[in-house]
């Protein structure tokens, strides 16, 4: 089976949220899920709000990221989680 590259867009609950702490927590959740974070981008949304775009690789055999998304949503600092890109890594 191939690996899958997934991009999650995480919206913080407010502008006061410490994105570094959120990034660390989500990186741990992704590792527990079986993925490995490759890149994290910060994307300005507006009115001081900045979203995290976390790009990670996971084995295709894990299937859907729905369980991971639900775990991330339980964090008090997180407003929403969306999968914005999924690609198969072949090679």
Alpha carbons 33 and 52: distance in angstroms, whole number: 19
1: pLDDT strictly greater than 90: no
Query: What's the domain range around 70?
Result: 3-89
Number of domains comprising the chain: 1
Looking at residue 90, what is its pLDDT?
78
List pLDDT tens digits, range 24-40: 999 999 999 999 999 99
CATH number for 67:
3.30.70.60
> How many Cα atoms are found within 13 Å in the side-chain-facing hemisphere of 78?
21
**CA-CA-CA-CA torsion sign (25, 52, 81, 8):** negative
Q: Say what the pTM is.
A: 0.94
Looking at residue 91, what is its pLDDT?
66
Alpha carbons 75 and 91: distance in angstroms, whole number: 35
Alpha carbons 14 and 85: distance in angstroms, whole number: 24
List pLDDT tens digits, range 37-86: 999 999 999 999 999 999 999 999 999 999 999 999 999 999 999 999 99
Reported residue count of the chain is 91
């Amino acid at each position: 089976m191939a690996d899958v590259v997934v991009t999650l867009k995480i919206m913080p609950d407010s502008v006061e949220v410490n994105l570094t702490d959120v990034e660390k927590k989500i990186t741990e959740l992704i590792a527990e899920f079986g993925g490995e974070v490759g890149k994290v981008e910060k994307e300005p949304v507006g009115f001081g709000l900045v979203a995290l775009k976390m790009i990670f690789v996971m084995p295709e055999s894990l299937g859907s990221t729905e369980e991971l998304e639900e775990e991330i949503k339980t964090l008090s600092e997180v407003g929403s989680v969306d999968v914005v890109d999924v690609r198969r890594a072949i090679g």
